[in-house]
Each structure stands twice: as structure tokens, then as C-alpha cells.
Amino acid sequence: MKKIIANREIEVNEEGYLVNFTQWDKEICLCIAEEQCISMTEKHWEVIEYLQDKHQKEEPLSIRGIKKSGVINIKEFYSLFPGGPLKKSTLIAGIPKPKSCI
């Protein structure tokens, strides 16, 4: 399905995740974050970059992995991305929802 994000037609799945990561850019990111009621800070960007790096290396993502990463502690992760931090952060990062998320 297609969705208009940042005045562009973007391919998304039924949950709103980008189908094609190459369509992602910072403008798209900011629009998705705004839809999720998240104002991006430098720490948000650090997390997004970390998630994208893991995705590009085809490494699985999980809350436990983020905890061990040293990028962010779990309490802060939940604070930055309330209401499902791994789901919301990967949605904003333009990468598929991790298998560890239900």
C-alpha cells in the first residue's frame, strides 16, 4: 500500500513500516516521528543510526541487544520511544519490525 509522507508517495506495509528502506531519509523520519508524537533529539538520532546499522548488517534486533549495545540504557529507550520502544524506533528508522516484536 502507499502512503503520503513528506509530500511523497511511500510504499508501506499494513502496519505502516516502509517496504523499501531506500525511500527513507531524514525528512521521512521526522514525519513518521511526528506521527508517533516523538520530537527527535540527538539521542533519538543515535538510536536510529544504531538500528539502521544493525539492519544493514542483517543482525537481529531485540530489547536485550539494545541493552547490551551501550548506545542507550533500557529506561532511557522506553522514555525516548514510549508505548513500544522497539516497534516505534524501527518504524521511525524505516526498517522492518523485528521478529521479536509481536
pLDDT at 69: 86
pTM summary value: 0.93
| pLDDT means over runs of 10, the chain (102 residues) | 94 95 96 97 96 93 87 94 95 91 72
Q: How far apart are CA 76 and CA 25, in angstroms?
A: 24
Q: Please, are residues 35 and 12 in contact by the beta-carbon 8 Å criterion?
A: no
Q: How far apart are CA 60 and CA 44, in angstroms?
A: 20
Write down the domain spans for the chain. 2-93
Say which of 29, 31, 37, 101 is annotated catalytic: 101
At 6, the amino acid letter reads A
Is 31 a catalytic site residue? no
Helices (H), 1-102: 26-35, 42-56, 63-69, 74-80, 85-93
